[in-house]
Structure formats: C-alpha cells, structure tokens
Amino acid sequence: MLLLFLQSQVFRKYGEEYGDIVSPKITYSLYVPKQEELYVWREVTDACSTSCGPGTVTVHCVCADRRSEEIVEQQHCLQSERPTDRLESCNIAPCPP
C-alpha cells in the first residue's frame, strides 16, 4: 500500500484592477518524501552441486518483506531491479581419502 501525505495551498489571483498588493507571485513546488521500501531483494544460496570436493552453488534473489523477511511474490519488488543470479564455488577442500 502506498501512502502519500501531500499538503497544498491555493491562492486566488485577482484581476489587474486590484493592483499588485493582492496578486501574489504564484510558484508551485511539490515535495514527495522518498518512501521506505517495504519489500527488498534478498539473496538465497542453493545447495552445493557436490557433497564432496569442488562444486558450485547458485545464488539467486527472492522478494522479501523488509521487516519479517518473509518471501513474497516478485511483483512487490518491481520498484527496484532484480539482481542477476550468479555461481559461486563451494566445497573447495578435496574429498577425504
């Protein structure tokens, strides 16, 4: 849910017959504070491809609730780019004899 709190002021611009005193120089600016992200991409590491000896693991990202860390549908994280999956080495030590 996206909640924005905006404040605005309205000025009436009078005709020239009232002079400059009642004719404010109107400018507009809008400030929308950056919302804290409720959902973030979190890294998950799969199991090693080997139980013994050198192998690889896949590290991929899932969308999660920032506070509870519960995994949620990816559509909640679309405000930021999903990091790409990557492979990492695992079980670097050789198997025991």
Q: What is the pLDDT of residues 3-30, one digit of tens each?
A: 556 666 666 666 676 666 665 666 677 7
pLDDT in tens, 54-68: 999 999 999 999 999
Which pTM value belongs to this model?
A: 0.55
C-alpha separations of 60 from 14, 72, 82, 97 in Å: 61, 15, 9, 33
Task: Dihedral sign for Cα 15, 20, 22, 24, please.
Answer: positive
pLDDT-above-70 percentage for the chain: 72
Instruction: Delineate the domains of the chain, giving CATH numbers in brackets.
Output: 36-97 (2.20.100)
